[in-house]
Structure 1
Amino acid sequence: MSQSLIAALQNPALYPHPVDGFQVIETHISWVLLTGPYAYKLKKPVNFGFLDFTGLEARGHFCGEELRLNQRLTDDLYLEVLPITGSAEEPQIAGDGPIIEYALKMRQFPQSQLLSTLQANGELTTAHIDEMARQIARFHLDAPRVPAAHVAGTPESVMEPVRQNFEQIRPFLSDKADLQQLEALQAWAESSFERLKPLLAQRKAEGFIRECHGDIHLGNATLIDGKVVIFDCIEFNEPFRFTDVYADAGFLAMDLEDRGLKCLARRFISQYLEQTGDYQGLELLNFYKAYRALVRAKVALFSMPADASPMQRATALRQYRNYANLAESYSTIPSRFLAITSGVSAVGKSHVAMRLVEALGAVRLRSDVERKRLFGEQQVQNDPNVGIYDAQANTATYDRLHELAGIVLRAGFPVAIDATYLKRDQRDAAAKVAEATGTPCLIIDCNAPQAVIASWLAQRQADRNDPSDATLAVIEQQQANREALSAEEVLRSKRVETNESGSLDTLVANIRQRLPGL
């Protein structure tokens, strides 16, 4: 394929639809022709080792794979693969005669709607991140499992590209500080691998190696008709796509953190976990984020021309160091804590817990979510003390919350449990988890005026997007039966007026003061 074909395709007469004009977007592996209503993507005849598009048959095959795989996450965005016939100088789209090339036809969308562009313009919202979390979680839960006999996901296959990063980066570095940092990162990666090897093997055995996306970041997500759409998955290399779901989710978390959006990265991971319930693999997250950061660090060096000028080399090294520093940040040992909310339904506990997620890196565990994960979406009776809300179900729910809290704390993350904790024995059980894991335990005593609680409840019921089934009658019953904090509990509690933003700010500042590593 030559530039002459790309030039010749910029002829409105070739297309069976109106053409608003042509714009060509070129990457290292493809050309994309924008026509207005549709985009046409052609693969370059290149071989980079990790992909080989040199043969026409291969380009046709991978156009078909791109169509098939991206239809898993999109609707009417990827349309069809079209043969190009004729000659490079006088091509025809879907014409007669021998095929000289293939084009993937896509519905065109404005580049201004890419989430990376929205982020650059300060228009990326928590709603966008929450929608990505829901979509990616559903996608991972439904994605086909890679067969157990396949090498993908075995501990050694996971570690091979990690080691390759260090081997390929080292020849580009000459500065002593850069080399020392790389050695320290490699030592951390090797020690982490030895520690995580049993978990990696367990994940492989339990089917968490799935046919994933492989390249989830803000540049591969856009708004179409007001909805987030994730596109452009890896079609050309199975090992890049056949991976643990945590490697897939970790890529987006790393991308957000690289953009200075640490709060949104934390929110994404916590929301993703609420959807999947996959807390057992959380210990892998920082390992995979560091790997993804070092891939980008390596690419920054690879992009430097062989005859790079001093300015070009300085720019590439600056990009490399930014990613290397990000990777290094994942090797630090964080301060952990266990925070539990205490208060009636609709008092704002979920908002308080999410604030700890975004500000302090906690993972939120929600009683309403875990209860329904345990017992399913059962019809709630008029009596709030029966069915999934009877005494036995309550005990099982809190037991599960405390089990998960132990898992998350041992994985190295702080925990915020969003539950009512109206009973002393429930709070005592949480304190035992903190004691067993060597972490401080904080009770967040959540309060708000009755009128505010009633208004929040009404809004929640109107929105119909909250897992809680509480009614005003339930809240009144909770208030009547709530066991007050003991004198001992008051000493390790913080009172929060959830309707006052300053009260939450003070809570976060107090925790940071006590645990400066956050």
Structure 2
Amino acid sequence: MSNNTAPDSSLTLIKALSEANGCEVVETHISWLLLSEQYAYKIKKPVNFGFLDFSTLEKRRFCCTEELRLNKRLAAELYLEVLPIIGTPDRPELGGAGTAIEYAVKMIRFPSGQLLSEYAKLGQLNSDEIDQLAELVSGFHETIARTDQNSPYGDSANITHWFIENFEHIEPLLIDGAQKQQLQNIRQWGDSEVCHLAALMQQRKKQGYVRECHGDLHLSNITLIDGKVVLFDCIEFNPMLRWIDVISEVAFLFIDLLHFNYVHYAYRFLNRYLQQTGDYHGLALLRYYLVYRALVRAKVSLLRKAQQQDESARQTLCEYTTFADLAERFTRRRQTVLIITHGYSGSGKSTIAAQLAEAIGAFQIRSDIERKRLFGYRANAQTDSGIDSGLYTEQASLKTYQHLKELAKTVLDAGFPAIIDATFLKTEQRYLFRQLAADCGVPFHIVSFQASDRELCKRINLRQGDASEASVAVLHRQQQSAQPLSEQEQSGLITVNTESDNALQTLLDQLGHYFQ
């Protein structure tokens, strides 16, 4: 048997099972899925790709039990049990007593046409699904097991191994000279990059960011059931590929959203994930992991192509090209810029800053969220802090703005634009960030958000479930104590009337030249 082709006995087994149970068969490069009206039975192919080894019955049995264990963390309602398959390849039986000749994972069959990848192909993904994903993944990452210093998981050497392993599979399958050169350029970038990142990778492991993740987080492994986003099909076959840095996990979903041309949603997902986790320091590794994840998808495309013919193979080769181009894109640093907001509570800063971040591929850091995180509160917690007390004393505000500056530098150093979302009503607060931009050698802009007093009060009174605790009384205090923008600050100033329908477009007209 070759290392990537199922033997005739396995094909006989699948055919007999599907006929005996009235099942439709769906095939991937590593498994068969038998679909009955109510259930799905997943049977692993006896293949060995190096990173995955299903070559013996015992290995397939073990991976079936692992698949059940791991997926019950996220989709307990779908994953039911591991069934032995008894009998002979031409007369098999699902379940029952006797010597097992194969194993299957039994699952509830969810409705067809509900995969997020299917929605994406039709252009029908919406922001609610992205927001559910950000909340679901961030909550999952908070609760899952974390590695310790004695385990091999998350070491820089292992991370590098899996990065390089992609090239070992891809290179022999490429014929086109330009594609070979592109791959070589990506490999040289990866070799250089890891020299600078190895210490950080080890530090992230020590800090507990290497966890037992999903491992295969892309849109084809996410479905909707009664409007609820459900993640399934974790990596069970190789612990090295699921015990990973959480930033590597989110990079996979990010890349897949880009693959489907949902650029805005990719940044919406990652912004919301970071706002919920506070893991902005992970951005230093993001580009490396984006390249890695794009290479993984490129590799899988070529492995699947080897099992296909004619038109399907041509389509898969096009998919390879898309992912290879995405990998190459993130080997290049992009234009960065530091933007701070300016305006009273209720002026629409956070709403439009979030839209701007999605549109230009930036990271929005919200002072309301980071202030609470800094003092041990969750984003939507009510701290009952009064004016100039609790979290809003002068000392607490100074500490908050210093923290925002550190996070802004983290984002800029990672090679991404940063939008710092705060009132910035004090001259010294704004100066702190103007100086940061100068130190980092990036353009600096103040975006001043404006609205009528009536509209400000209306918005504040209508707020529900937001991180901001500002009241109308706080607004009045802001208006009394705000320090006006100096003449120097007028340079690079962009003023936006948030009662206008074209507020976002005004910003894009002013800032779009950075990102063309």
What letter is aligned with 2:372? K
1:2 pairs with 3, 10, 33, which one?
Answer: 10
Instruction: Using structure 2 for the length normalisation, give the TM-score.
Output: 0.91
C-alpha distance after superposition, 1:384-439 (max 9, x if no partner)? 32111222211111111111101111111110011111111111112122122111
Q: Identify the residue that residue 4 of structure 2 maps to in structure 1.
A: none
Residues 3-402 of structure 1 mapped to structure 2, 5 A cutoff: 3-10=11-18, 22-305=23-306, 317-377=317-377, 379-381=382-384, 383-402=386-405
- Deviation, 1:308, is 6.9
Preserved contact between residue 350 and residue 421 of structure 2 (Cα < 8 Å): yes
- Deviation, 1:445, is 0.4
**2:463 is equivalent to residue 437 of structure 1:** no
Unaligned runs of 5+ in 1: 15-20
- Deviation, 1:87, is 4.2
Q: Identify the residue that residue 479 of structure 1 maps to in structure 2.
A: 479
- Deviation, 1:170, is 3.0
Q: Identify the residue that residue 5 of structure 2 maps to in structure 1.
A: none
Q: Distance in 1 between matches of 2:147 and 2:407?
A: 27
Structure-2 change in CA distance of 1:179 and 1:348 (3 Å): same
- Deviation, 1:192, is 1.0
Q: Matched residue pairs, number?
A: 505
- Deviation, 1:290, is 0.8
- Deviation, 1:314, is 5.8
Preserved contact between residue 213 and residue 244 of structure 2 (Cα < 8 Å): yes
What letter is aligned with 1:395? L
C-alpha distance after superposition, 1:445-479 (max 9, x if no partner)? 01123343344334422xx2x21112222223222
Q: Distance in 2 between matches of 1:154 and 1:212?
A: 16
C-alpha distance after superposition, 1:497-518 (max 9, x if no partner)? 12323232121121123x2x45
Preserved contact between residue 82 and residue 104 of structure 1 (Cα < 8 Å): yes
Q: Distance in 2 between matches of 1:227 and 1:207?
A: 29
Structure-2 change in CA distance of 1:291 and 1:229 (3 Å): same
Q: Distance in 2 between matches of 1:101 and 1:223?
A: 30
Preserved contact between residue 305 and residue 317 of structure 2 (Cα < 8 Å): no
Secondary structure of the 1:443 match is: strand
Secondary structure of the 2:75 match is: coil
Q: Identify the residue that residue 416 of structure 1 maps to in structure 2.
A: 419
Q: Distance in 1 between matches of 2:58 and 2:215?
A: 23
What letter is aligned with 1:262? V
* Greater Cα offset, 228-237 or 297-306: 297-306
Secondary structure of the 2:74 match is: coil
Secondary structure of the 1:84 match is: strand
Preserved contact between residue 148 and residue 206 of structure 2 (Cα < 8 Å): no
Structure-2 change in CA distance of 1:506 and 1:183 (3 Å): same
Preserved contact between residue 83 and residue 103 of structure 1 (Cα < 8 Å): yes
C-alpha distance after superposition, 1:239-288 (max 9, x if no partner)? 11121111111111111111111111111111111111111121111111
Secondary structure of the 2:67 match is: helix
Preserved contact between residue 199 and residue 281 of structure 1 (Cα < 8 Å): no
Unaligned runs of 5+ in 2: 1-8
Q: Distance in 1 between matches of 2:178 and 2:19?
A: 54
Structure-2 change in CA distance of 1:382 and 1:166 (3 Å): closer
Q: Distance in 2 between matches of 1:171 and 1:53?
A: 22
Q: Identify the residue that residue 17 of structure 1 maps to in structure 2.
A: none
- Deviation, 1:8, is 4.5
Structure-2 change in CA distance of 1:348 and 1:251 (3 Å): same
- Deviation, 1:374, is 1.1
Structure-2 change in CA distance of 1:323 and 1:436 (3 Å): same
Preserved contact between residue 339 and residue 444 of structure 2 (Cα < 8 Å): yes
Preserved contact between residue 169 and residue 299 of structure 2 (Cα < 8 Å): yes
Preserved contact between residue 382 and residue 469 of structure 2 (Cα < 8 Å): no
Structure-2 change in CA distance of 1:97 and 1:297 (3 Å): closer
Preserved contact between residue 441 and residue 492 of structure 1 (Cα < 8 Å): yes
What letter is aligned with 1:100? I
* Greater Cα offset, 97-106 or 410-419: 97-106
Q: Distance in 2 between matches of 1:431 and 1:51?
A: 51
Structure-2 change in CA distance of 1:285 and 1:479 (3 Å): same
What letter is aligned with 1:214? G
Secondary structure of the 1:111 match is: coil
Secondary structure of the 1:385 match is: coil
Secondary structure of the 1:113 match is: coil
In angstroms, what is the RMSD of aligned CA positions?
A: 2.4
Instruction: Using structure 1 for the length normalisation, give the TM-score.
Output: 0.91
Structure-2 change in CA distance of 1:452 and 1:105 (3 Å): farther
Preserved contact between residue 114 and residue 221 of structure 1 (Cα < 8 Å): yes
**2:411 is equivalent to residue 404 of structure 1:** no
Residues 432-471 of structure 1 mapped to structure 2, 5 A cutoff: 432-461=435-464, 464=465, 466-471=466-471
Aligned-residue sequence identity (percent) comes to 45
C-alpha distance after superposition, 1:59-112 (max 9, x if no partner)? 222111111101112241212223333444554443233333322221221121
Secondary structure of the 1:344 match is: coil
Secondary structure of the 2:124 match is: coil
Q: Distance in 2 between matches of 1:95 and 1:438?
A: 69
